[in-house]
Amino acid sequence: MENQNTQYQENRHDKQTVIIKERKSIGLSLLLTILFGPLGMLYTTVSGAIIMFVVSLIVAIITFGFGVLFICWPICMIWGVLAAKNYNSKINY
């Protein structure tokens, strides 16, 4: 019994689980945020996209839509690129 238990423990430690994640393209993130603004951020950061969508709605109401293009869109582009870089650095690719 003791021999079987030792063999089981050795076999249990031999197995490794490898999780493979794809990198997120920084260029694609930038393109999506240029074209779609907060919706393009869904590619890299869902929570950031939701936050910027709400902020864009508020800014659009206050500035009659003009502030979205000049304030929110550049923020979305920067945030999307930084989120892609951060994601790629976390997976050590």
Does residue 25 belong to any structural domain of this protein? no
Does residue 11 belong to any structural domain of this protein? no
Identify the pLDDT of residue 52. Answer: 95
Does residue 62 belong to any structural domain of this protein? yes
Does residue 47 belong to any structural domain of this protein? yes
Residue pair 76/33 in contact (Cβ under 8 Å)? The answer is yes
Identify the pLDDT of residue 6. Answer: 53
13 three-state secondary structure: helix
What is the per-residue DSSP string for 48-75?
HHHHHHHHHHHHHHHHTTHHIIIIIHHH
Q: Which domain holds residue 89?
A: 31-93
Does residue 48 belong to any structural domain of this protein? yes
Does residue 40 belong to any structural domain of this protein? yes
Does residue 66 belong to any structural domain of this protein? yes
Q: What is the pLDDT along the chain (93 residues), one digit of tens a residue?
A: 555 555 555 556 667 877 788 889 999 999 999 999 999 999 999 999 999 999 999 999 999 988 888 999 999 999 999 999 999 998 874
pTM for the whole thing? 0.75
Count: domains in the chain: 1
Does residue 10 belong to any structural domain of this protein? no
